[in-house]
Structure 1
Amino acid sequence: MDTPQNTALMRALTELPGPLPVRGVIHIVIPHTDRFTVVGNHLAQHAGLSTVAVGLAVRIQSLPQGTEIGIKALAARFPEGEKLIAAALRELEAHGYLRRAVTNLPNGRIVTRTVFCNQPTALLCPRVVAQRPAPPQTPPPVQDPAPEPPAPEAAAAPQAPALPDVQQEQEQEPEAPAPQEQAPEAPAPAPQDHAPFVARVPPPTAPRQPSPPLPQPRELTAELDRAATALLSDLRRHARQLVLSENDIRQLAPAVAAWLERDTHPDTIRHTLTNDLPQPLRHPAKLLKHRLTVLLPPPLPGADDLAAPARPRIAVTPFQTCDGCERAFRAPTPGHCRDCRNAHAHGPAQAAAA
């Protein structure tokens, strides 16, 4: 009674769908709603990084932007020592997750800026920098023309020239442009110095390979057709999911006849079609068509094919006995050996020289 037990954990295990694995880790996944950081499997399962480097990278990703992540700052925050943290930072820098660059500030100070990238492989792909759209230009408001001076004043001062009216019209002309001139011109596209983006992932709608045709017998006799139809109709007795329509049986009967024509036993065909069926089985006819096509056995070999190949006969030169010295030597016909032939050849030559 004094042993503490986590009943909440056991209750969560009973709520997991499906059978639990016999060994290995069992995940209880509870979705996060706040205070979480997304970490990719390329980092969490990186084969070239140590566990300390992976844990330090996760810690750095969870820190807010602008936090000091120098060696001394991290050593003061975490229980690891400075040497271990420095080695982990070098690992992250070698694999592209971390980069430290020296920057000169406008006030003359030199600082080290540390940049952490959560997915360095994405930086290797060329990207298209999105251009910010120009803010819409609103046309200036049209001002109403100033009221004309009254006629009595104009009559009282006839010597005043009409320059103010002309100046007022000149000032009003740029403020009220024509409607076609008010529309702002589209900004010219900036020249792109970078390479265009190339998608490295194939489109999801890739063309599918055509399925191979059903096997056909060399000659569909009435006996083969009857046996194939009976075998297909009897499959539902051995597997309740394999309920075929008459149209499906007519389409699959030639394929089963091709199996029977190749001396395949009906029990073997039945076992091949009913063994290890998927659950649930939505299209029985398509599954049988696939198995009859892909698992078609080859024809049985004949007696001549199973016979051992004849060994090639090697011509052996027989032994001969020399007529002069009785020495054995190999030659196709009887005669003298090499030494006797040489002696007979040198004897007449010496006599002629003497």
Structure 2
Amino acid sequence: MDTQHDNALAHALAAIPGPVPPSGVIHIVIPHTNRFTVVGNHLAQHAGLSLVAIGIGVHIQSLPAGSEISIKTLAARFPEGEVRIACALRELEAHGYLRRTRVRLAKGRVATRTVFCNQPGAVLRGGVVPGAPGAPVVAAAVRNPAPAPALVREHLRVPEPTRVPEPARVPEPTRVREPEPGLVPEPALVREHLRVREPEPTAVAGARPAPVRLPAPTAPKQPRRPLPHPHALTPERRQAASALLADLRRHAVELVLSEEAVEELVPGVAAWLERDATTDAIRHALTADLPKPLKHPARLLRHRLTALLPPPLPGVHDLTAPRRAPVPPFQTCDGCERAFRSHEPGHCRDCRAPYGEAV
């Protein structure tokens, strides 16, 4: 008697028109009247995007223009970390939904401009016109909206194709019936002979679509540095490097490598061993401060072996202090008996002239 039975769901299912599918999801569609966003299935059901990227893309579409969508802002809003959110933004950028460009502001400052497109496929094809159904809409204030073509034809008397009025004479605006299709002159002729003020760009049936300017592409990525190789890959170094890589999973469970990955990374570890790096130093450099979660351990080890490669150890002679130049010994002048520095005995500088010695 104390068990509550909620019959609202049963009544909602009974009100669904048509047969109910025997399995799978059943949709109860209630029309929205406020606070809703139209999202295309090309984004909601995208086969190349992850679930995090699709969710962030839908969230960005629901935000008003000017909202902050940086990685730190999204990480503070959602439980996902900054790494997953950054990967999701790169996915949206790779598929054309997101475009981030760096622009230079006044006083030498640099800012990031973010543009989100809800239909990147239509923009890339160039088959849409701004203002037409399905065209991209920029969230900005529109000044001096152009009158609709129907209002122009209604309030301006459109001349017949065979009777073109004089340029100086403008007929009084009267209400005329719609001309038959195929007899309406070109809009350029109407503006030329009626001297109508050229309206703002708008959607005109049959007109050539205006080109869509996309933001400038981001700077190209630098090529990846090659994995270091030793001058001589001896069997002893190969065996030591292979054993060190296979033993990393004992110190970090995330670093489980395949045999192919171990063979690929052996030259990098051998280059460290060739530069007199100890196994403990190599193991600490490869296992310290691992990201959570670690998706690609082989790529991380390749990056650390390349970026953290130490220089060769200096030799014994390189560490010794530089020797001073030899100082000439003291000599006694044969003429004035004064002491002076010289490698050979003789006369001092004052006594050289009388005795005819060369300077």
Q: TM-score range by the shorter chain?
A: 0.3 to 0.5
TM-score, structure 2 length as denominator? 0.40
Q: Which has the higher helix share?
A: 1
